Amino acid sequence: MDIALGSLLSLVYRVVGVGSMALMTVVAARALPVDEFGRFSALIVLVGAAGSIAASYASSAGYFVSNQGREPAEVASNTMLMSAVGGGVVGIVAMGALVFYDGEHRTLILLVGLAMFPVIARSALGGVYLGTAALLRYSFAVHGFGLLTVVLMLVWVVGLGQRTASDALAIWIASQYLVLVILAVANAGWWGWFARHRPDGQLMWHILRFGAFTGLAGFVGFFNYRIDQLLVIGLDGATGAGIYATAVRVAEGVWLFSTAVSVASYSAIGTLAREESARLTSEAARHTLVVVAGVAIPIALGAPLILRLLFGQEFVEAEWALRILCVGTVIWSQQSVISNYYTVQLGKPWIPLLIAVGSVLISTVTSIILIPQIGYEGGAWATTLSYGIAGLFSTVLFLRMTGVDHRELWLVRKADLVTYGRLVRRLQARLIPTSRGA
């Protein structure tokens, strides 16, 4: 599968997944009383924060499948055992905490304890799929529970009137277990690995150690995208933060496209020989630049109209913050692909971690200087500046380590554009029947 087609498929799957999560939020907000929705949302964030660390093992599992040549069944079986142990520990801690609470609090704590196993296990299986370039199954593992949550919530919460945070959270967790069951049945052959082998403690240790770096990098990366917003509300007040948040939401939408290319090229970057992987990374980086710039430029030009249509006239003043963030998004767009090279090809996840830490520090210091002077637009400038400096360092490091000419990253070739023309023709051939006998 070429990068263009893989990126398109990844994008479609991701848009469906993210859209289903947004729809789940809308259904919950309309069905639950405000206070119950507040509890539900807070608990989702709590579990999601822990899950973001657990999701690091998706990258770890993918590395051992694609780069180290370990059998998918071997990695899947051992990571599922690890997930069961990790989820069991959290469940036991939750059970112990029940003695300190009563009423609905006990139910909520118990549900949070039950949630960790499917969150960790889905991430681990998603990593195995990512390592084998099974994009549809990867997307279902990561996002499929959102679609099931919407359906079950419409039946249980809306249809049957079970309108409490506990009910909504139970549906959210049940959907994750259902996804896990579907994935287990779809890959039933994997679980026979333990019938022929003992659990591989050494492999588990390597996955944990590798995942510790990717998990910390993901955690730091989360703040890399959020630190400006936190500082805006502290230094410019709630009104400025509210206006700035709309610009951030729109700019973040562009990440869907860079993530799509990153996911589509992940397996091949880890599987190929070092020199071929570097060439593929360069090609994927060029594709990312074409796609992200092609989306970000129209958004920047139409910023006032977009903000007015999505959020209302009072948010139009965020237009320049949005434009500045669009510039930063384009500058940073290639880094997800280059980070794949560091992580899954070189096996050095500490490189993206250090780059992310540097970006956060630059953004923090610059925000503290600029926001009191020029308001929330200072947050946008700080973010863009941090992306520029960290991205430049990462790119120069990649070029020196690989010997790739810098033009391979920036100079869009005719062949790149031809790839998209070929993709359009392939889609037309599939979606539009060709008339015959004319």
Among 189-198, 386-395, 415-424, which stretch is predicted with the lowest mean pLDDT?
415-424
How many whole angstroms separate alpha carbon 56 and alpha carbon 326?
Answer: 27
Structure tokens at 267: 């397996």
Residue 368 above 70 pLDDT? yes
Report pLDDT for 427.
43
Residue 74 above 80 pLDDT? yes
Structure tokens at 259: 């993530």
Among 33-42, 157-166, 172-181, 377-386, which stretch is predicted with the lowest mean pLDDT?
33-42
Compute the radius of gyration of the chain from its Cα atoms.
23
Higher per-residue confidence, 3 vs 150 = 150
| Percent of the chain clearing pLDDT 70 (strictly above) | 78
- The alpha-helical segments, DSSP class H, found in 154-164 are none
Residue 420 above 80 pLDDT? no
Instruction: Give the C-alpha distances (Å, rounded to integers) separating 49 from 45, 52, 54, 121, 371.
Output: 6, 5, 9, 15, 27
User: In 3D, which of 49, 46, 21, 252 has the Cα closest to residue 244?
Assistant: 252
User: In 3D, which of 362, 369, 426 has the Cα closest to residue 392?
Assistant: 362
Specify the pTM: 0.63
How many whole angstroms separate alpha carbon 11 and alpha carbon 279?
Answer: 23
Report pLDDT for 13.
63
Out of 47-56, 242-251, 373-382, give the one with best mean pLDDT. Answer: 373-382
How many whole angstroms separate alpha carbon 66 and alpha carbon 72?
Answer: 9
Higher per-residue confidence, 200 vs 23 = 200
Out of 47-56, 92-101, 222-231, give the one with best mean pLDDT. Answer: 92-101
Tell me whether residue 107 is exposed, middle or buried, using C-beta atoms within 10 angstroms of its C-beta: 0 to 12, 13 to 18, 19 or more.
middle
Report pLDDT for 430.
44
Residues making up the chain, counted from first to last: 438
- Please write down the long-range contacts of 27-34, taking CB distance under 8 Å and 24 or more positions apart: 27/150, 27/153, 27/154, 27/157, 27/158, 28/153, 28/157, 28/168, 31/153, 31/157, 31/158, 31/163, 31/168, 32/157, 32/163, 32/164, 32/165, 32/168, 33/163
Give the CA count within 13 Å in the CB-facing half-sphere of 335: 25
Question: Strand locations in 321-366, DSSP E?
Answer: none
How many whole angstroms separate alpha carbon 227 and alpha carbon 239?
Answer: 17
Mean pLDDT of the chain: 79
Report pLDDT for 45.
60
CB 359 within 8 A of CB 390: yes
Q: How confident is the model at residue 196 (pLDDT cuts 50, 70, 90)?
A: confident
Q: How confident is the model at residue 85 (pLDDT cuts 50, 70, 90)?
A: confident
Among 32-36, 48-52, 299-303, which stretch is predicted with the lowest mean pLDDT?
48-52
Buried residues in 214-226 as b, exposed as e (16+ CB within 10 A): bbbbbbbbbbbbe
Report pLDDT for 358.
92
Instruction: Give the C-alpha distances (Å, rounded to integers) separating 214 from 55, 77, 391, 432.
Output: 9, 21, 18, 43
End-to-end CA distance of the chain: 33
User: In 3D, which of 219, 217, 204, 183 has the Cα closest to residue 344?
Assistant: 217
Residue 186 above 50 pLDDT? yes
CB 416 within 8 A of CB 359: no
pLDDT tens profile 256-272: 777 777 777 777 788 88
Instruction: Give the C-alpha distances (Å, rounded to integers) separating 153 from 119, 140, 285, 424.
Output: 19, 19, 40, 38
- Please write down the long-range contacts of 93-99, taking CB distance under 8 Å and 24 or more positions apart: none
